[in-house]
Structure 1
Amino acid sequence: MNDVLNQVRLVADWLTSPGQWRGDEGIPQRLLEHLTYSGLSLLCAAVIGLALGLLVGHTRRGAFAVASVANLARAVPTFGLVVLVVTLAGLSTAPVLIALTALAVPPVLINTFEGVRGVDPATRDAARGVGMTGWEVLTKVEVPMALPLILLGLRIAAIQVVATATVAAYPGLGGLGRFIVDGLSRNDYELVIGGSAVVVALALVVQILFTALRRLLVSPGLRTPAAKS
């Protein structure tokens, strides 16, 4: 118990130290770098995953291919992919963005596809019966009803990306992972634990933001227990 309290006190001292909040190696700068990698990766993953998920879910074609690609992407180790791309393309932000995007696409793609595919066929037929076009059925019926699962996929992807973006530090780039890598190389466990605490806090903030989005965007009648998992 005393060890835990000592660790908490060390982290609190590290976080409240004025030196940690200024300069190129301070928390604000590292947080900005981390958010940049995470945000760009999540944006790319959202564009790919939402587009493919909506297309396959609406047309009901290519479901096997979608599941196969998503499972393959899940099997790729993020750190190994970063190292491979750095080796082939050189040190830049591209390896990190590619690896994090590959990590984030599967949950977005699968949840979007399953959400749209799971819309009651009778509801689709009724929408077409009143003269809606295929695009109108997708945007006005299927997407709103699939929104709980779509947001769930985006939330899972965002938390995974925020937590895994620490790999950006290994090939010599920045982000919050820099605290962890530098701390391990110096045997400075205060730095390691402090950096990890900031990453965890950021992941919790992401969770809270998506919870708020869900309450704002999803109809109360669609907030089923399954969508909350």
Structure 2
Amino acid sequence: MKKHLLFLILCLMGILTSCSQKHTRYYIGVSQCSDDEWRHKMNHEIVREALFYDGVEVEIRTAKDNNRNQIEDINYFIDRKVDLLIVAPNEAAAVTPVVEKAYGLGIPVVVIDRKILSDRYTAFVGADNCEIGKDVGQYIVNRLGGKGKILEITGLEGSTPAMERHRGLADALKAEPGIEITASVDGAWLQSVAGEKMDSILQDNKDINLVFAQN
């Protein structure tokens, strides 16, 4: 995904250059939802790629899994009049209005990894999470032979990858009455949270045959 993101950024920078030759510097704002190792690596790749081009400045702000922080971060970038805004939304419903605000003001917006609840953005770079859920569902059917009980540990409940992976899983299991999702709990994309909730669920559900952890 990082390669696709960097290519898209460069294309959009080219559009900005062709639209206004007066600008000698391009300011890219990146609003990250989380502060994990995977996103640190993504941030590093974005900054490193920008170093190959004269007059490009990248500023990254991290919301640390907090919707209010992210809304403030995006408003900060709007006030700074960024030339390009990159957003990895924390929870879709909360962050959608401020992303739409930026887009409505004419700021090119690239949404990455997680979606918002509208199409008011310039481009999306990320996975087909419904398809991922369907693939997992088909694997479960084959693995369990059409019969069994499942524990699903989702990502952050309000994030679109979590919603879409669950939807894909449910769609794949519709035709399998012998397979039941016994429980679905919010793991918040965090190993510590997921582990704690899994331990709690398993104490009361000894007959679970398979665990699907979304991440």
Shared fold by TM > 0.5? no
TM-score normalised according to structure 1 size? 0.26
User: Larger % of strand: which?
Assistant: 2
Larger Rg: 1
User: Larger % of helix: which?
Assistant: 1
